[in-house]
Structure 1
Amino acid sequence: MTASLSATRSRRNRARPARGAAATFRYTVLIVGALVMVTPFIYMLSTSFQAQAYVLTFPPQFIPNPATTANYSRALTTENFLLYFANSLVVAVVSTAVSVLVSSMMAFAFARFDFRGKELIFRVLLTGLTIPAVMLLIPQFVLATKLHLLDSLGGLIVFYIAGSLSLNTFLLRGFLASVPHELDQAMQVDGANAWTRYWRLALPLAKPALATATIFTFLNSWDEYPIALTMINNPNTRTLPLAIATFQGQNATQWGLVFAASLIAIIPVIVVFLVFQRYFVQGLTSGAVKG
């Protein structure tokens, strides 16, 4: 017995350095990866507080000296920046709300009802995830021209909603399919119709998946550039990505101004993520493995 215990302790002692080395290597890789990811953002933040004359200095200054807030003042007062910010906010909020509502209804139908061609319709819907968005620019422009949706925020909202329905329905269907059917049956016994079961049962239980869909849809609508560039010519209906692009001149780019405007544009995305992040990981994993 004593010999066996000694052998076990010896193996454990030999294993500890190996585990320690593996842990050290793992943490080193994670730290290096984190630095690679964070460094561009830190440089962007630093540049936004620098005058144009100090932007392209080498080596780059991560602590601005001298620091100035002039770029932020110019960004907020130049080229109707606040109007473009409001335009983007309206487009993103309306697109997100309508897309999440419609896709949750579709997901509830796919997860809870049996009807002819259900799987075929769902697979056709998912083909939207396989088509690159760039390939749809010309058809979308032609369709917008026929429907008189050019140069309007409503036109952007329509196409943003259409572009997000596939992913949102996929995520929400997977989550709703995991809800026990016994809950539906219990509500049916009490006389609840399909709308009541959707509104009072499915939506409250699907908060994690709804939060995930909300974050994805808001981010895509807020940052979208190619569709807006194709369909918007009127300066009064520009969105924020188009406004930031105007800060890049033909001969020189005012990087401090561009970075300051970009950091301002990040604020709503951070707010949305902070509000819904507690449900984000749970909703994402549930939608990915169910259905």
Structure 2
Amino acid sequence: MNRPSAGTSLRFVILLAGAAVMVVPFAMMVATSFKQQSYVLTPDLVPDHATFDNYVRAWTSSGFAHYFLNSAVVSLATVLLVLLFGSMMAYAFARFEFVGKKVVFYSMIATLMIPSMMLLIPQYFVARDLGVLDTKSGLVMFYVAGQLAFTTFLLRGFFAGVPRELDDAMLIDGANRLHIYWHLMLPLARPALATAAIFTFLGSWDEFVWAVTIIDSKDNRTLPMAIQLFQGQHGTSWGLVFAASTIAVIPVIAVFVVFQRFFVSGLAAGALKG
């Protein structure tokens, strides 16, 4: 049996150390969420006196369940709209020729290099003029705008890799461009769509700065705002705070688990094709 080389062993150690850096803080958060208040400062990963009381109190306190539902509605609406508009734009850039195509595409990609904090004040004035301040539609509208460029870039690369002969065959059979987009491109692009869905969901689910900027009423608060207010109200009850944070992480993990088999192939295809 061949022994691993020194280089292979070193890479394994580095990867293991990187995994520990990523996993240990998350494990500490989950462990602390099961601890009673008198034990939260103990560094053990397996609580001696575990309790579910923190989760019950977190879910039933301060309208947390309502804020969770708000985040779910906003995130799902954002994902659906981003996938719809992003895929249509990507299809246009991959298949159609029009004046200024490259200028428009690369100008859109250039917006990815602009820090979101620089756009906060202009976006606020736009939202005010559109009358969407303190509304969930205001969150969805600007989340969609912020995610469209990356999704279009990702899907455009995938669509460009689909052989044009398939388009021609459907055109000969009497299909129009809308049929080709809906019945050919979208089914073939499922890995890329799943990848875009993951990134879009993450970007809208845990977004805090824009939400806290335009949302004032309690009815429209989202989960990150709820956790921030929760921590302020119970500043020393870390078990309660970490229980709320763990609940907020569960949908993220669920989305990744559902779509993870598409994630790597979709990301690679969108980055390399075209």
Normalising by the smaller structure, the TM-score range is over 0.9
The farther-off stretch of 181-190 and 266-275 is 266-275
Gap regions ≥5 residues in structure 1: 1-15
* Alignment-mate amino acid for residue 105 of structure 2: F
Query: In the alignment, what sits opposite 1:204?
Result: 187
Query: In the alignment, what sits opposite 2:11?
Result: 26
Residue by residue over 1:204-235, the C-alpha shift from the partner in whole angstroms, topping out at 9 and shown as x without a partner, is: 11111101100000111101000001010101
Distance in 2, matches of 1:94 and 1:143, equals 20
CA contact (8 A) 1:174 1:288 kept: yes
* Alignment-mate amino acid for residue 28 of structure 1: V
Displacement, 1:18? 8.8
TM-score relative to the length of structure 1: 0.91
Query: In the alignment, what sits opposite 1:258?
Result: 241
TM-score relative to the length of structure 2: 0.96
Relative to structure 1, the CA distance from residue 159 to residue 253 in structure 2 (aligned partners, 3 Å threshold; closer, same or farther) is farther
2:130 paired with 1:151 = no
Root-mean-square deviation over aligned CA pairs: 1.6
* Alignment-mate amino acid for residue 77 of structure 1: T
Query: In the alignment, what sits opposite 2:92?
Result: 109
Residue by residue over 1:74-102, the C-alpha shift from the partner in whole angstroms, topping out at 9 and shown as x without a partner, is: 11100111100000000000010011110
Distance in 2, matches of 1:24 and 1:225, equals 41
Residue 248 of structure 1 aligns to a residue in which SS? helix
Query: In the alignment, what sits opposite 2:271?
Result: 288
2:244 paired with 1:228 = no
Distance in 2, matches of 1:160 and 1:95, equals 7
2:103 paired with 1:120 = yes
Displacement, 1:251? 8.5
CA contact (8 A) 2:37 2:239 kept: yes
Which of 20, 31, 40 matches 1:55?
40
Bigger-Rg structure (1/2): 1
Distance in 2, matches of 1:81 and 1:120, equals 45
Query: In the alignment, what sits opposite 1:13?
Result: none
Relative to structure 1, the CA distance from residue 192 to residue 251 in structure 2 (aligned partners, 3 Å threshold; closer, same or farther) is closer
Displacement, 1:269? 1.3
Query: In the alignment, what sits opposite 2:58?
Result: 75
CA contact (8 A) 2:208 2:224 kept: yes
The percent of aligned pairs where both chains have the same amino acid is 55
* Alignment-mate amino acid for residue 139 of structure 2: L
Query: In the alignment, what sits opposite 1:179?
Result: 162
Gap regions ≥5 residues in structure 2: none
Displacement, 1:191? 1.2
* Alignment-mate amino acid for residue 74 of structure 1: R
Displacement, 1:53? 2.1
Displacement, 1:239? 0.2
Displacement, 1:249? 2.4
Which of 82, 85, 91 matches 1:99?
82
CA contact (8 A) 1:171 1:288 kept: yes
